[in-house]
């Protein structure tokens, strides 16, 4: 399978253009390469965005409910 065929196949499934798929760099994985890890290992498993950006957590406002008059 050529790279152009891969791009067209992925584009057909995702609905994107083959040009965009080409820019994203899809390719076939080698099934014999069992030590391949596409995720970086130095990235934490979770990120506390409040700590990263120094922001206060956003909480939904609590509105008082008025009694319903019938």
Number of structural domains in the chain: 1
Residue 12 lies in a domain: yes
The pLDDT value recorded for residue 46 is: 76
Query: Residue 11: is its pLDDT beyond 80?
Result: yes
Q: Please tell me the predicted confidence (pLDDT) of residue 36.
A: 65
Q: Tell me: the pLDDT tens digits for 47-58?
A: 777 777 666 655
**pLDDT number for residue 64:** 65
Find the domain containing 18 and state its range: 1-30
Assign 40 a pLDDT band (cuts: 50, 70, 90).
low
Q: Is the pLDDT of residue 8 over 80?
A: yes
Which residues have C-beta within 8 Å of that of residue 42, sequence separation ≥ 6?
Answer: none
Q: What is the pTM of this model?
A: 0.44
In a domain, 24, yes or no: yes
């Amino acid at each position: 399978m050529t790279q152009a065929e891969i791009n067209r196949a992925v584009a057909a499934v995702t609905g994107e253009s083959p040009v965009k798929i080409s820019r994203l760099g899809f390719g076939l994985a080698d099934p014999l390469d069992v030590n391949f890890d596409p995720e970086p290992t130095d990235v934490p498993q979770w990120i506390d965005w409040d700590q990263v950006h120094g922001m206060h957590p956003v909480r939904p406002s609590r509105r008082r409910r008025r009694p319903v008059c019938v």
